[in-house]
Structures are given as C-alpha cells and as structure tokens.
Amino acid sequence: MRKLLLFTMLALLIGGGAALAITVDEAVALFQGSDIMIPHSDEGRATLEAMIGTFRGALAVPDDLDELEEADVTGFEVDLTHKDVVNKLSQAYYTLADAFLAGDPEERNTYMKGRNWGFKSLRMNPDFVAVEGEAGDSWEEFVEAVNQEADISALYWAGANWLRWGEFNPLQAVVALIPQQTDAISKRCIELDDTYVNYGSYRALAAFWAGLPKLPAGNYRKNWSRSLGYFCHIVDEPEICADWDCDVCPEPGEFDPAANEYFENRVFFVEYYLMQRGMWNDAKRILDQVLSEPIGEKFPLYNAISLEKAVGFLKEVEEHL
C-alpha cells in the first residue's frame, strides 16, 4: 500500500506538466532496500532528477560547484550529519546514468559526478583520510583506507560510479588504477555485507573481470575463470559453475534463491559471460526464464530495465542458434 501511495503522489506531482517539487523526506522515502522506487519511464526520470536537485539543495551545493572536479567536491564543506544525503546523491547520479542516460553525451559525466560524491562521503571520515594519505601517494594506501572503512553505502556507490566511468575506456581505466581501486572497494563491501544491493559486489566483480582488456601482462586483465567464480555466487547454475576451479567460487549449496528476485543478476550473467563466450543455448534458456517472470513490486525500476535488456539480448542470441 505504501508503494502505491508513493507512485500516486508522484503521478500527482508530475501530472499536468507542472515542475516537479519533492521534499527531502519524500526523496528519502523512495529509497527502499537497494532500489529507488520509481518507474522506468519519463516520469521516473523526472522524479529522479528532482531528487538530485533536492539533495543538492539540502547540502547547499552552489550552482557553480564543478561536480566533475574531484578536488572541488572533496573541498566542499558538508556537515557530517548529512553524510547519508551525500551517499544518496551518489546513488541517484549512478541510477540516472545507468537507467536513463544510455548513449546520452552526459552519461559518462553523470557517473563521474556520482563517483566524486561517493569519494566525498568516504573522505568525510577522518580515519579514511588519515590512512589514505596525501594526494600522490601510492594506491596501496588507498586500499588500506578502504579496508578499514565501514560505510558500505559510500564505498559501494563510489566504486560503482568509478567502475562504470572506466568502462567507457578500459585502457584509460587501467592507467588510472581504477581496476585496483574498484577491486578493493568491492571486496571490502563483500566483507561488510555481501547481500548489499542484491549481491551487487559479486555482480560488479564478475562483470569487472569479464570486461578488462586482454593485456599482455599484469594481474588486471580479462579473467574468465574469476568472472565465473563471482557470477556463481548470484546465479543458480551448478553445471556451468562446476566447470571451473577458482579461488573465488562459492561453496556448493551456498546460492541464495533471493538472488533470482533481482533480474539483473541473471541478465548480467548472460550479457557479460555467456554471450561473450558463445554459450548461446545457456543464454537463451536463462533469458527465457527471466522473461517468463513478473517484474513484481520489490524492484520496479531495475527489473523493468533487465526485462527490456533481456528482450534485446534474446534477439541476438537466437541469431546464433
């Protein structure tokens, strides 16, 4: 009933072409679990953009603050009591880019804004700053700072935005040490709560290892075995998972059936692993499975997005059968 009331409220706010206004309390109420409770539609995008404006207003972010510059965002003073708002702003930017800006010229910049606010939240912790050290120090000190950080929301959304920004240019990402940093962040999130964002850190690491370039040397290059190992935490595919012996694979019987409720787990498996490896029959079987299930009320935004992607992937898969 509460979800219905929220959607009704949003429809009234958006309807009639009036400018959407949303309070901080209303914006926060739309964060339920790991999803933002908006539809995948123009109305949902308008709501999300209004939420971003509301959070920026709550933080008193001036219009001339360059959110694409890490130093500017890091140097902007925010009271520690507003740390959760900073985290939600980081997530909202990620969601805007991921859900509504695919192919838009602002897509990558929006991930960078989310990344900078996520790192801003991390650096609101003086212990993080003390361990991280001064700018220009080695990335190992950053990893040490991550490993003692306990704010999973700040860690997760900083890493998610940073990783997606890097996907636009994998070689640039390697030079910028994004693989080392996001690998450390995701592993720390797993230590803190591996179920966060519906096992999102396993999903991120699985796609991460599949998406790295095939470099001639070094640890951070494409690794199918490691990708599958992480995917096997979030998909119930014992026959496929039994084919690999890896240091990140789950123990037999560890799969949580709740992971199937979040369609992106299986759709990512198809997109980043099965299709890339030419496993077309398995890809079709899993896509058919996802497309036969209702979106449900728990994850209205991302299950809708995953179903749309599944339809497109299925057409491509069937061309190879």
282 within 8 A of 240, measured Cβ to Cβ: yes
Write the single-letter amino acid at 277: R
pLDDT tens digit sequence for 87-132: 999 999 999 999 999 999 999 999 999 999 999 999 999 999 999 8
pLDDT at position 9, please? 42
pTM of the model: 0.90
* pLDDT per residue of the chain (321 residues) written in tens, 0 to 9: 344 334 434 433 444 444 578 999 999 999 987 789 999 999 999 999 999 999 999 999 999 999 999 999 999 999 999 999 999 999 999 999 999 999 999 999 999 999 999 999 999 999 999 998 754 456 788 889 999 999 999 999 999 999 999 988 877 887 788 888 889 999 999 999 999 999 999 999 999 899 888 865 668 888 899 899 999 999 999 889 886 656 677 776 678 999 999 999 999 999 999 999 999 999 999 999 999 999 999 999 999 999 999 999 999 999 999
Pairwise CA distance, residues 293 & 299, whole Å:
13
What angle separates helix 107-122 from helix 152-167, to the nearest 10 degrees? Answer: 150
The domain ranges of the chain are 1-193, 196-321
Pairwise CA distance, residues 255 & 266, whole Å:
13
Pairwise CA distance, residues 265 & 258, whole Å:
11
Cα distances (Å, whole numbers) of residue 255 to 3, 237, 247, 251, 258: 29, 9, 17, 9, 9
Give me the helices (H) in the chain, please.
Answer: 2-14, 24-29, 42-58, 70-75, 83-100, 107-122, 126-132, 139-147, 152-167, 170-175, 178-193, 196-211, 224-231, 238-241, 264-268, 280-291, 300-318
Q: What is the CB neighbour count within 10 angstroms for residue 198?
A: 23
